[in-house]
Amino acid sequence: MDDKDIVKIFLDTQEWSTFECKRAAIEPAKLLETAVAFANTEGGYTVVGLEDPSKAGGNKRLLGISENLDNISEFLKLLEKEIEPPLILWGKFELDITNVNGQPDKLFVVSVKKSNDVHSLKRGDTFVRKGRQNVKIGSTEIMRLKYEKGAIKFESEKSSITSLEELDMSLLNLYKKDTFGEGLDDWQFLKDNGLAVGQSGKFELTKAGVLLFGKNPSVVLKNKCGIKISHYYGTKPSHTGKPNFVTRPFTVEGPLLKQIEQAIEYFRNIVKNSPPKLSGASFNPTFLVPEWAFQEAITNAVIHRNYFVQDDIQVRFFDDRVEIESPGTYPGHITVENIRTERFARNPLILRTLNRFQIAPNLDIGEGVDRMFKVMKEQNLYEPLFFPPTIRPNSVLLFLLNIQKVEYWDTVGKYLDKNYRITNKVAREITSVHDILKMSRLLHNWVEKGLLEKIGKAKKDCYYRKPGQEIPKGLFSKGGDNKTEKGGLLP
């Protein structure tokens, strides 16, 4: 991909939560606010020397950085010195252009990756990205953001519970047996495992201790921390007339391990009772989502959700999909793009404890999400669909589609992973589907299933992308003086 190709992508991209363009004449402090907002939200690109699309069109936007080179230098100095804690994961590169005056010039591009920390300007202001705006947030929102990122651990806080009577002792004894802790004092054992605090014979459970072993954590912590299960006939809820519930929605409460087990048991009953369908010479179940994929999804939701948020995990069963929605957005530096390869634990105590049971629902070897993709593929089902925060701002929403995959999707999906947008013409070229109407039907079908979203209405300007997808992190391979942990351009 050469400079002209990258510039064309930038010209075609509207400003939004992960992309901003500014003239070089802008105050360097304003660019700094965007860098902080990107780091605190989902990361993004700032292109300096490119006019706002609302003020000019096409190549007339190519003003270049010659308009004010000193501002670029000043911005880089501020980026190094005026952010607390300092940004680590960011990169920069330049693109050669011909500006509106017909002169050789450059665009200056800064990429900032989503951070595990909450960053502020040293003058005290903290910003997040909402739509195309940098929004200053106050102390309450900063605190919420710290819980969201995992910078503050809800699970490690004291619960005010000082009696073991609130615990499921049979489950605690099982855990002690599985971890060779039999015979140890209960309170000392809990403290040694980060599930209680105290000294001199006075102990208090941490919130992780209550969540993992409390008889009913929702009651004790006065917080919604269960799993709400809703099961519908058809492919969408009915909001008029009689509700289309298969069973009345119910909430699973109790220790986290038992919540996971009960949710999996309900899943098994759905598979067992799904009406068979004739396929060839044999009957096969109509509910095809593999149990292991659901187990991984619900376990991840329980382990990685934000327990500071007052809400239950929502599990919704439909004929064509299972939806798992967990409170709180993606933790730390995790994004839709890197979720298969990166790891970050918002609740490491909960993760560790569940993993140490002999009947652990999680392997904790860093392959869970990736394996979920693989087992869905083995069943010829569509890959798990994680929705980005631009579509679901305050939760992690996952679809496991109960739909046999159309063979052309692999080709289209892989193309989108690398190129992030596709047109009907390109889709026909890479799939060898020569009929424009057939490809239109396929694209429309994928939009209906939630696999794609259509951007633009006019045929010549219309294209498709994965839901909420912005310019993929790492799409560009430009070199330069990039500041990263491992080298290379970020995000």
Domain for residue 14, yes or no?
Answer: yes
Contact yes or no for 61/128 (Cβ under 8 A): no
Could you list the residue range(s) of the whole structural domain that residue 238 is in?
227-401
CA distance 298 to 293: 9
pLDDT for 194: 95
Residues 388 and 246 in one domain: yes
Residues 85 and 133 in one domain: yes
Name the domain count of the chain: 4
| Single residue among 341, 374, 401 that ends a domain in this structure | 401
Contact yes or no for 464/452 (Cβ under 8 A): yes
At which residue do the structure tokens 């202001």 appear?
125
Contact yes or no for 222/228 (Cβ under 8 A): no
Residues 239 and 200 in one domain: no
Per-residue pLDDT of 472-484, as tens digits, reads 666 665 544 444 4
pLDDT for 263: 97
pLDDT for 364: 58
pLDDT for 490: 29
What CATH number corresponds to the domain at position 244?
3.30.565.60
Per-residue pLDDT of 323-335, as tens digits, reads 999 999 999 999 9
Residues 27 and 110 in one domain: yes
Per-residue pLDDT of 97-126, as tens digits, reads 999 999 999 999 999 999 999 999 999 999
Query: Of 262, 174, 190, 180, which is closest to residue 226 (Cα–Cα)?
Result: 262
Query: Of 394, 395, 346, which is closest to residue 151 (Cα–Cα)?
Result: 346
Domain for residue 146, yes or no?
Answer: no
pLDDT for 484: 40
Residues 214 and 241 in one domain: no
Domain for residue 378, yes or no?
Answer: yes
- The DSSP bridge partners found for residue 465 are 453
Residues 393 and 446 in one domain: no
- The DSSP bridge partners found for residue 284 are 277
- Banded pLDDT at 365 (limits 50, 70, 90): low
| Single residue among 205, 220, 235 that ends a domain in this structure | 220
pLDDT for 479: 46
| Single residue among 199, 220, 241 that ends a domain in this structure | 220
CA distance 129 to 393: 11
Domain for residue 52, yes or no?
Answer: yes
Per-residue pLDDT of 72-106, as tens digits, reads 999 999 999 999 999 998 999 999 999 999 999 99
Per-residue pLDDT of 24-55, as tens digits, reads 999 999 999 999 999 999 999 999 999 998 89
Domain for residue 148, yes or no?
Answer: no
245 Cβ contact partners less than 8 Å away, ≥ 6 residues apart: 230, 231, 232, 233
Report the share of the chain in percent with pLDDT over 90: 76
End-to-end, the C-alpha distance of the chain in Å comes to 17
Contact yes or no for 459/416 (Cβ under 8 A): no
Domain for residue 89, yes or no?
Answer: yes
Residues 207 and 253 in one domain: no
- Banded pLDDT at 159 (limits 50, 70, 90): very high
**Would the CA dihedral through 343, 292, 268, 362 be positive or negative?**
negative
Contact yes or no for 49/31 (Cβ under 8 A): no
**Three-state secondary structure of 163-186:** CHHHECHHHHHHHHHHCCCCCCCH
Residues 261 and 300 in one domain: yes
E strands in 425-478: 453-455, 463-465
Residues 279 and 378 in one domain: yes
Domain for residue 143, yes or no?
Answer: no
Choice between 277 and 147, residue whose per-residue pLDDT is larger: 147
What CATH number corresponds to the domain at position 431?
1.10.10
DSSP state of 66: G
Helices (H) and strands (E) in the chain, counts: 15, 20
Contact yes or no for 33/134 (Cβ under 8 A): yes
What is this structure's pTM? 0.88
CA distance 7 to 449: 32
Residue 460 has pLDDT above 80, yes or no: no
Residues 216 and 232 in one domain: no
Burial of 265 by CB count in 10 Å (0-12 exposed, 13-18 middle, 19+ buried)?
exposed
Residues 13 and 116 in one domain: yes
Listed in sequence order, the DSSP H helices in 62-193 are 69-81, 139-149, 169-178, 186-192
Domain for residue 144, yes or no?
Answer: no
- The DSSP bridge partners found for residue 463 are 455
Query: Of 182, 114, 483, 87, which is closest to residue 333 (Cα–Cα)?
Result: 114
CA distance 462 to 15: 18
Is the preceding omega at residue 85 within 30 degrees of 0, hence cis? yes
Residue 279 has pLDDT above 90, yes or no: no
Q: Strand 227-232 vs strand 313-318: parallel, antiparallel, or unpaired?
A: parallel
What CATH number corresponds to the domain at position 63?
3.30.950.30
Report the share of the chain in percent with pLDDT over 70: 93
CA distance 157 to 159: 6
Residues 213 and 353 in one domain: no
Structure tokens at 169: 């002792």
